[in-house]
Amino acid sequence: MHFDQYRTFRVAAADLNGQMRGKRVPLATFDKLGTEGTRMPLSVLNVDVWGADIDDSPLVFASGDEDGVLKPTEHGPVPMPWLDSPSALVPMWMFHDDGSPFAGDPRHALRRVLDRYKERGWTVQAAVEMEFYLVDDTGHQLAAPQNPISGRPVFGNAILSIRQLDAFDNFLTDLYDACDAMEIPADSASSEAGLGQFEINLDHRDAMAAADDAWLFKAMVRGMARRHDMAATFMAKPFANDAGNGMHVHFSVLDEDGNNIFDNGGPEGTPLLKNAVAGCLAGLAPGTLIWAPHGTSYDRFTPGSHAPTGGCWAYENRTAAIRIPSGPAKARRIEHRVACGDINPYLVLAAILGSALAGIEDEMDPPAPITGNAYDLKLPGLMPDWESALERFETDPLMARIFTPELIRNFAMTKRQEIRRLAEIPPEEHWLVYLETV
């Protein structure tokens, strides 16, 4: 990447909601980022969805709102094709002055989990499927976008419709060009069940890079949609009567020789795969706050609406929360289908991979895989609402094995404040809070 074409840079880290927090810096200071970083309050990664400080946060009030140091991640800078002026973004993460990682940084949370795999000589390969809606947000309520060819609002379901893909070809072409420029490995695109809903699959790669891809992709999609006079949203359920947005995570684990530890040469997978599945199932209810972090997230979990609601696993069955896809044995992997689209990808991958590793460490055995429609079965479910999800996450021993006490405390405080503030807003206006913040 040639830097001389850029007059300014954005430096940004992910806060607990996955929003970008950082600064705009001139080209003259770019070289200092690698050696000195840039200073920002630690508390900036622990603000609510509106960007407000958390009431009584120890990061603000007990510590005097001390600074940390943002340093560039190993990802490196990327262009920002949705802006009119040539600009680039430098992904960052937070450290203390002594060089130790800030425990409240969600990217560090994923790094801690991946380091535990590394201690076993393992590396994790992951890929994500990202669902989003294109919408018209110019009125008092969200509406379907206009068909760029006809000029009329999109109507009718368009599952895997080539016609709808073709109608939005200019947007999708620009989106793929932006992915190429940002080195986001976008694979197939499909039209989904909702009006103006699309899914983009991102290719398998190192799990940290996959999380970086998802974080950058969300910002890029929102920006590119605005260039096409639309809005894009990853809200879990933008329209009450349409399918919700999810983020499906696929992962496999490689040993030091590059062998897939889930591959036994057949379709059923190894005992380690089943241990990992059992861990993922054990983490479903405790991790609900991670899969569904916002007030409107819980609208997505409706039986029969393309979102898993019960704790089960299956081979090649999309009604199950945990799916083992078919295909070549060497590519045997686990698909975790629960997370909403409004998530923080670093926290989601940390929770999924941490739960799977706990299953392996404890040699957990899963129940028998289901057959048929999971919605017809009586299954243990996720936590039913935001408040109960918060309480479970805050006290659950499995989550305490995955996340630091500081991150659990900070995330719980953030969500508690958001619950209070959202209750003061009429439900019909909640979409205004979440449209492009999540």
Contacts of residue 59, Cβ cutoff 8 Å, sequence gap at least 6: 41, 42, 43, 46, 65, 104, 410
pLDDT given for residue 27 in this prediction: 81
24: helix, strand or coil: strand
Question: In the chain, pLDDT over 90 holds for what percent of residues?
Answer: 79
- Domain(s) of CATH 3.10.20.70: residues in the chain: 3-103
Homologous superfamily (CATH) of 113-434 is Glutamine synthetase/guanido kinase, catalytic domain (3.30.590.10)
The answer on pLDDT for 94 being more than 60 is: yes
Distance CA 402, CA 353 (A): 9
Report the pLDDT value the prediction gives residue 8, as an integer from 0 to 100.
Answer: 82
What pTM value is reported for the model? 0.96
Question: pLDDT tens digits, residue range 108-117?
Answer: 999 999 999 9
Give the pLDDT confidence score for residue 159 in this predicted structure: 59
Residue 61: the pLDDT is 61
pLDDT at residue 56 in the model:
82
- Mean pLDDT for the chain overall: 93
Phi, psi torsion values for 7, nearest 5 degrees: -85, -30
Per-residue pLDDT, averaged over 32-39, amounts to 87
pLDDT of 151 strictly over 80: no
Average pLDDT over residues 228-232: 96
Output the CA–CA distances (angstroms, integers) from residue 369 to 144, 311, 315, in the order listed: 38, 11, 7
pLDDT at 242: 87
Alpha-carbon distance of 37 to 29, in angstroms, equals 10
Out of 3.40.1360.10, 2.70.98.60, 3.50.30.60, 3.10.20.70, select the CATH number for domain 3-103.
3.10.20.70
Q: Does the pLDDT value for residue 262 go beyond 70?
A: yes
